[in-house]
Structure 1
Amino acid sequence: MTTPPDAPSRDPLADALRKLDAALSRLEAAAIRRLESEDSPDDRDTELSLMTEDRARLAAALDAASARLAQVEANSGEVGQRLDRAIAAVAGVLERH
């Protein structure tokens, strides 16, 4: 026959250890609940703050890259026109000789 966990046994030390184990389990569960309820909003706020900073940094980097791309495209068009004029000038010189 098995003794229920709540039932007193003939061994007072075993009873005390069982009670201590139960109390520690309840204390651990309460501590976990408290940590989860207190730290979760802070963790979320911290994570949200980091994500907001990352978003702002990435948006600035994207704006800079877009501006640089526009400048490169403008320079590319100008270089293309200069190359076309140079090719025409060389072709004109070659035709004369």
Structure 2
Amino acid sequence: MSEATLKDALTRLGHAMVALEDAVSSRIEREGDYVEAEAEVQRMNADRARLAGELDKSEARAERLEDANKEVSRRLVTAMETIRAVLDR
């Protein structure tokens, strides 16, 4: 093998090593981005679960308040009817 051929082979090997290092760096960066995105998705899922729980509690409270409102309204109607009956006598 001639010296020129050896130099060409070493140059190509050097270029190939640089390309490989660039590819590895790029892959590591993409995987880092993936890990960060996965962590963000997990945080969002935890927030969603927490918000869903709070929504369920709020809906249950709203139902209880609606039931209480209906009971108060029923009692007011009964009280008004009783007062009318007394006034009519």
What TM-score comes out, normalization by structure 1 length?
0.62
Q: Which amino acid aligns with 1:74?
A: A
- 2:36 aligned to which of 41, 45, 50: 50
| Alignment match, 1:40 | 26
Structure with more of its chain in helix, by fraction: 2
Q: Which amino acid aligns with 1:60?
A: A
Deviation at 1:44, TM superposition (A): 1.1
Please provide the CA RMSD for this pair.
2.1
- 1:72 aligned to which of 33, 36, 58: 58
Deviation at 1:36, TM superposition (A): 3.1
Unpaired segments ≥5 residues, structure 1: 1-29
What TM-score comes out, normalization by structure 2 length?
0.67
| Alignment match, 2:86 | none
Aligned in 2, Cα 1:32/1:94: closer, same or farther, shift over 3 Å?
A: farther
Deviation at 1:38, TM superposition (A): 2.7
Displaced runs of 4+ in structure 1, greater than 2 A? 30-36
C-alpha distance in structure 2 between counterparts of 1:51 and 1:84, whole Å: 48
Q: Greater relative contact order (Cα 8 A, min sep 6): structure 1 or 2?
A: 1
Give % identity: 12
Deviation at 1:89, TM superposition (A): 0.9
| Alignment coverage as a number of residue pairs | 69
C-alpha distance in structure 1 between counterparts of 2:18 and 2:72, whole Å: 76
SS in 2 for 1:49: helix
